[in-house]
Homo-oligomer: A and B are copies of this chain.
């Protein structure tokens, strides 16, 4: 008679996540390519970018108005001869005659000799002379070169995923292209004889395969390129074939299913002999987890239940993938619980929750199969391993989905 398998003590969530983070660290060094700035949105900058120019490039006017010497307008109102006009785009090399005014447009060069700009609102003109109704002091409404950016200033640091404001700054200093990292490339393999593709009729015992589609969406939403999504039966030879193809084309492989204590655990059966570590993490949902390196490629094996798969991704992979991709960390905050919750002792529990004006409510029971709750949830409620009960009104940590 077989004895019950020895229980190895389950690893903590933090310990397991740290192990994955260590394993994925080499993925920070990825191939660099050069892309045009307009195509660089959401790409990760590979090198510090310093400004090749100073901004403003030249001394220019902050207002539509008249460039004058402040000394000419100490006493106002005063009438000055109008000595011409400088439009934006004009080289602006004609000097301001002593005691005169020159019309300037916003952004136009300040003529040599002028030291301030009187806004058009404070003037009247007949086209030959201009009446300055309010004087200005030297420097007013003049933008000096280099006051925004000096040549060599750090504009955007390496490693950042570029947002519109970064793109704006890169374009403003005239950069045409920037070096960016290629995204992390991931492959997904789902497993399970019971799974059938969407759009087919279910026979008894069959369920729809959602994990491939869901993991691919979650990966894309976190800056990862998905190179393939394939499904394996519970036949080890089929899984082995898909695994070989996945590790040949991706930096990282995710599998779902086949990791728990059943008789047909294809993922565990194939990967454990290759050095994979399979065991329990003290978490609900998503307890059974596996981690293997195949031909140098990390393979993260999640349990097959759809909600377990998604929570595993959120808890174990997403924080590290965002850091690798230069994306901001997953936001967390403390909120009051709107209803009491119970939680199993010794396991950190992640409940699907929905934030309302007054706090957070659970939208699912603790069962790991509740995929509808996932659709309505906008946060995971993070209940510590040693907590078994929380009354309504308790403050609890939540992380955004």
**CB atoms of B305 and A263 under 8 A apart:** no
| Interface residue total, chain A, C-beta cutoff 8 A | 103
Write out the residue numbers on chain B whose beta carbons fall within 8 Å of the beta carbon of A120: 261
Of the candidates B153, B204, B370, the one whose C-beta lies within 8 Å of that of A148 is B370
- Quick one: which of A150-196 are within 8 Å of B by CB? 153, 155-156, 163-169, 171-177, 192-195
A156 to B378, CA, bound (A): 13
**CB atoms of B165 and A108 under 8 A apart:** no
10 A-B pairs with least C-beta separation: A176-B199, A89-B194, A169-B375, A171-B210, A168-B214, A89-B193, A91-B204, A174-B208, A164-B218, A164-B217
- Quick one: which of A247-285 are within 8 Å of B by CB? 260-264
Q: Is A82 in the interface zone, CB < 8 Å from B?
A: no
Jot down 23 A-B pairs with beta carbons below 8 A, ordered by A.
Answer: A3-B124, A4-B123, A38-B229, A62-B369, A89-B192, A89-B205, A103-B263, A106-B304, A106-B305, A143-B367, A148-B369, A156-B375, A165-B374, A167-B213, A167-B214, A168-B306, A168-B371, A169-B371, A169-B372, A175-B199, A176-B197, A176-B198, A176-B199
A121 to B304, CA, bound (A): 19
Q: If the complex has contacts A41-B220, A163-B401, are A171 and B214 also in contact, measured as CB distance less than 8 A? A: yes
Q: Is A377 in the interface zone, CB < 8 Å from B?
A: yes
Select the residue from A120, A124, A165, A202 with max chain B CB neighbours within 10 A. A165
**CB atoms of A125 and B1 under 8 A apart:** yes
Q: How far is the CB of A52 from chain B (nearest CB, A)?
A: 10
Determine the residue in chain B with the shortest Cβ distance to A258: B88
A residues whose Cβ falls under 8 Å from a Cβ of B: 1-4, 7, 37-38, 41-42, 51, 53, 55-58, 62, 64, 85, 87-93, 103, 105-109, 120-121, 123-126, 143, 148-149, 153, 155-156, 163-169, 171-177, 192-195, 197-200, 202-210, 213-214, 216-218, 220-221, 229, 234, 260-264, 304-306, 310, 367-375, 377, 401
Write out the residue numbers on chain B whose beta carbons fall within 8 Å of the beta carbon of A168: 210, 213-214, 217-218, 306, 310, 371, 374-375
**CB atoms of B91 and A401 under 8 A apart:** no
Write out the residue numbers on chain B whose beta carbons fall within 8 Å of the beta carbon of A210: 168, 171-172
**CB atoms of B37 and A213 under 8 A apart:** yes
**CB atoms of B262 and A106 under 8 A apart:** yes
**Identical chains in the assembly:** 2
Write out the residue numbers on chain B whose beta carbons fall within 8 Å of the beta carbon of A374: 165, 168-169
Q: If the complex has contacts A103-B263, A143-B369, are A208 and B4 also in contact, measured as CB distance less than 8 A? A: no
A202 to B174, CA, bound (A): 9
**CB atoms of A109 and B149 under 8 A apart:** no
**CB atoms of A57 and B202 under 8 A apart:** yes
Q: Chain A: interface secondary structure?
A: loop
**CB atoms of A55 and B164 under 8 A apart:** no
A4 to B119, CA, bound (A): 11
Select the residue from A88, A169, A197, A373 with max chain B CB neighbours within 10 A. A88
**CB atoms of A148 and B194 under 8 A apart:** no
Write out the residue numbers on chain B whose beta carbons fall within 8 Å of the beta carbon of A167: 213-214, 217
**CB atoms of B205 and A108 under 8 A apart:** yes
A155 to B109, CA, bound (A): 59
Write out the residue numbers on chain B whose beta carbons fall within 8 Å of the beta carbon of A373: 148
Q: How far is the CB of A5 from chain B (nearest CB, A)?
A: 8
Write out the residue numbers on chain B whose beta carbons fall within 8 Å of the beta carbon of A143: 367, 369
**CB atoms of A57 and B207 under 8 A apart:** yes
A210 to B164, CA, bound (A): 11
Write out the residue numbers on chain B whose beta carbons fall within 8 Å of the beta carbon of A263: 85, 87, 103, 105
Q: If the complex has contacts A2-B126, A174-B198, A208-B172, are A148 and B261 also in contact, measured as CB distance less than 8 A? A: no
Select the residue from A109, A194, A217, A305 with max chain B CB neighbours within 10 A. A217
